Structure 1
């Protein structure tokens, strides 16, 4: 349990609001919503903020320490509000968080990207606590906003909070992947969960020139970015650039299930694998952290592959790659003090060759950032592009 003393250095809600306004996270036209719709009115009495200094979730109970609870509620920190899809019991953090609320700086940055106008109708995918829907309703009116939530208990809680606050947005318990055709068309659609596939139903349920704002990434790694897609006049596609790196819980129907290691790399597979060496440094491959563009760019170029990094052991770090459509695999082993790393790979595809080629391509393009990449969605799926929809990133597959 944290104490109010530990929270003493955090800015007040008013101070945070001024800070976010000055740095541009809160656009001037959203300042009124920030002031009038506090996040604290939409949070449970027991919550688990993510402590940015320790990297851990802490338990905060309003009944035991109301000052600490209020400080966290008013802070620029993400907050977990449900563990283990509601099966979690007790005040200690559970195993897997299944509902949370993002940092206010990110919430308002995405709302600025959404660019709502008076009279517009908005569909939100993922109600969460109901706070984002309330902010939208404050600008547009409750009747112009509808939000879809897959978790029945979370949906009920959001509806209760919205009604109690006086902004009775319609909360639909259902699968947001299907959208909500009953209230279509929508001028704006915003998803507050991460996706790896964007349903064409969202395009079909949007108005011409409508905006779809969605966190999207590949299965290569956890990295994702918000794509701001503008719907074509004929509503047969939507296209637009990425804006910023983000980190969201994935839509439940798109949660990633890691392939079994032994299904790809059975006993004796390392001895039979093809071997080579690479001069690519570990830092070149991994970038600077989870919000670095490197992994995002590689994922656009290398399809149907996931990768993970082993824990360091005596100066040795192994980065594994697994094919998601077959049993291809690769591993590159970095060792302290060595200029080359050994590579093992096997299967129908040469996954390390693909990753290395994708990295060369990214460097040749002058290491583009998130904002140079974009996405087009139509009935055939998604296509990533660089600088223009006419310049698709394309898929690079090397067969064995």
Structure 2
């Protein structure tokens, strides 16, 4: 097999120009000059493995090997698209992405939301292969950048990638939920993974007046970005934005499967009916999904198109595997649906109540929600901090 040719400086310049043009087409405002400069200075290809996995259009992934298809690989490297770089095998034998190179336009939005100034010191949570770290170095200088990564192999790879481009930030192998106290405090903490709650270490390691920017996740849906500002009293507060879908930070992941962990023989159930369509609450509107994720904590859902005794079923379960619910469509009429619930939480009742609250609030968008983080609590609010909804 012929080894793919080395990528020339002119190829990289052309690739960066294409990438900037793609990103600009997604925006109504111009890319700030200092970020244009950083995107030109940092070659994205230098942070990618020879084997990439690209969306295949059918919900799966297809391989793209640099040696076999150098032109296709280079085109992918400088496209405004997320690129899967690593898979993990789940307990049921399926493979799911465990590491990826994020979509550059989303990377840029996170960087812009950090509102960096030339004097800022930044902690990045999730080094990955080091591309975002390099962009921070190009913007601020390597001495102002600290990055942490939980995966030892990725940490080593990122250090090598950064060193090859003469960037020397502090890169530490540790759980990102702990931050990095050795070089704290920071003016900005920027996460490249999502969270379901803000680690208190991040709050402690941020300077008053500093910002924490992190993608958001809930058991119901993975979407949104949180922008917090730390106040002089030590609390932090800020709104969500309607973009961003990142892998969940490792320490907040759960391994719960419906048929393995949740459903058990002999469980006592409660039967009822509902006129609320399951399709109305699961996947019909990103803003509603986000609202349910915030206000019905720890509850996830899945669709079953071949259930016993029904045409289609929406399953709900909590991430402690103590409660579940199902909502059945019989395939004939859509006026009423059969509800079955088990456990101390009445999950369908909770979801239906959250849906009603969302309607009464005027179907609020994601950017109307915010979060207040203190040492003792994290409170979700709508429109203003005193209007707590969860």
Q: What is the TM-score when the length of structure 1 is the normalising length?
A: 0.86
In structure 2, distance between residues paired with 1:62 and 1:304: 41
Is 1:297 aligned with 2:291? yes
Is 1:154 aligned with 2:159? no
Partner of 2:383: 387
User: What is the aligned residue count?
Assistant: 370
CA distance 1:222–1:109, change in 2 (3 Å): same
What do the CA deviations read for 1:275-322 (whole angstroms, capped 9, x no partner)? 211111233111337xx1222211222233222222356982211122
Is 1:283 aligned with 2:240? no
Partner of 1:71: 75
Cα offset, 1:237, TM superposition: 1.4
Contact preservation (8 Å) 2:258, 2:317: no
Contact preservation (8 Å) 2:47, 2:130: yes
Partner of 2:342: 346
Cα offset, 1:222, TM superposition: 3.0
In structure 2, distance between residues paired with 1:251 and 1:69: 28
What do the CA deviations read for 1:114-158 (whole angstroms, capped 9, x no partner)? 111101101000001100011111110011011000111100100
Contact preservation (8 Å) 1:49, 1:60: yes
Contact preservation (8 Å) 1:193, 1:249: yes
Runs of 5+ consecutive residues of structure 1 not aligned to the other structure? 5-10, 86-93, 395-400
Runs of 5+ consecutive residues of structure 2 not aligned to the other structure? 5-13
Cα offset, 1:274, TM superposition: 1.9
Cα offset, 1:22, TM superposition: 4.4
Contact preservation (8 Å) 1:20, 1:26: no
Partner of 1:218: 218
The CA RMSD measured in Å over matched residues stands at 2.3
Cα offset, 1:264, TM superposition: 4.1
Cα offset, 1:233, TM superposition: 1.4
SS of residue matched to 2:85: strand
Partner of 2:228: 229
What do the CA deviations read for 1:46-74 (whole angstroms, capped 9, x no partner)? 222334x3332221222222111101101
In structure 1, distance between residues paired with 2:328 and 2:197: 32
1:244 to 242, 245, 270: 242
Q: What is the TM-score when the length of structure 2 is the normalising length?
A: 0.88
CA distance 1:282–1:348, change in 2 (3 Å): closer
Runs of 4+ in 1 over 4 A off after TM superposition: 312-315
Is 1:166 aligned with 2:160? no
